[in-house]
Amino acid sequence: EVQLVESGGDSVQPGGSLRLSCVASGFTFDDYWMTWVRQAPGKGLEWVANIKEDGDETYYVDSVKGRFTISRDNAKKSMYLQMSNLRVEDTAVYYCASGRIYFDNWGKGTTVTVSS
Amino acid sequence: QSALTQPASVSGSPGQSVTISCAGTSSDVGGYFYVSWYQHHPGKAPRLIIFESRHRPSGVSNRFSASKSASTASLTISGLQADDEADYYCSSYRSTRTSVVFGGGTKLTVL
């Protein structure tokens, strides 16, 4: 069974940092691009960032460029999202998903709240 | 980065069909067959129901079908069931910024 499990969500103040993790099982992790998608309260899904199978290519939505860094460790079947200089508008449920253009497996999400 | 345009809500009675549209531009929906659709029950993980504009993943009911014409994609759900009540999102590859863009989502209510 394919599983993606996110962790690391928390409540932080504006300007703070968090590191989200996503652990995969049930599929060949290093054969897949991986992606972070978020959903702010009452809003729709938003693509955040993705990373190539070998980690050599990464792409970000404009609003997080320079603040978020996506990475992966294929030996640990894990993907990460290092978030810094967090803003109130980064408050969301963050989902980990497998795939580059379409996302066939999703985690249940981890909640990030940025508030003073 | 502007989202793809979806109606905020649609509704239908059990057994009926509904269609959800997804409008984009030549840089995304109109330029590629990389349109996907997701079903999202609040509090759960989103579920892929259509990929590459019209293909269903294994296990997805054939009551879900999709198509694309120019810069507008459409999802049709036939034989509506109570469990179809959910939020539906389209997404597309977008050549500018080499990214993926989602629609704003459509809330389907089964009356």
Listing DSSP states for B71-87 in one string gives: TEEEEEE-S--GGG-EE
Cα(B85)–Cα(B14) distance, integer angstroms:
10
Least reliable range by pLDDT among A29-43, A93-107, B40-54, B90-104: B90-104
CB contact, 8 Å: A16 with chain B? no
Q: Write down how long chain A is.
A: 116
Question: What's the mean pLDDT in A67-79?
Answer: 98
Identify the closest residue of chain B to A42 by CA–CA distance.
B42
Of A83, A38, A105, nearest to B51 by C-alpha is A105
Quick one: tokens of B56?
A: 């269903």
Cα(A15)–Cα(A116) distance, integer angstroms:
10
Residue of B3 and A77 predicted with greater confidence: A77
Cα(A91)–Cα(A111) distance, integer angstroms:
8
Nearby residues of B59 by Cβ (< 8 Å), 6 or more positions away:
none
Of B44, B52, B102, the CB nearest to A45: B102
Asked if A108 lies within 8 A of B98 by C-beta distance, the reply is: no
Q: For residue range B48-76, what is the model confidence (pLDDT) as tens digits? A: 999 999 999 999 999 999 999 999 999 99
Q: How confident is the model at residue A17 (pLDDT cuts 50, 70, 90)?
A: very high
Of B1, B46, B93, the CB nearest to A106: B46
Is B2 a residue whose pLDDT tops 80? no
Cα(B21)–Cα(B71) distance, integer angstroms:
10
CB contact, 8 Å: A56 with chain B? no
Question: What's the mean pLDDT in A17-36?
Answer: 97
Question: What's the mean pLDDT in A26-49?
Answer: 96
Asked if A102 lies within 8 A of B98 by C-beta distance, the reply is: no
Q: What is the dihedral sign for C-alpha B4, B5, B6, B9?
A: positive
CB contact, 8 Å: A107 with chain B? yes
Query: Average pLDDT over chain A, rounded to whole?
Result: 97
Q: How confident is the model at residue B3 (pLDDT cuts 50, 70, 90)?
A: confident
Give the pLDDT score at B75.
98
Give the pLDDT score at B98.
66
Angle in degrees, CA A108, A111, A114, rounded to 5: 160
Q: How confident is the model at residue B96 (pLDDT cuts 50, 70, 90)?
A: confident
Question: What's the mean pLDDT in A90-96?
Answer: 98
Question: What's the mean pLDDT in A18-34?
Answer: 97
B33: buried, middle or exposed (CB in 10 Å: 19+, 13-18, 0-12)? middle
CB contact, 8 Å: A45 with chain B? yes
CB contact, 8 Å: B65 with chain A? no
Q: How confident is the model at residue B99 (pLDDT cuts 50, 70, 90)?
A: confident
Is B1 a residue whose pLDDT tops 90? no
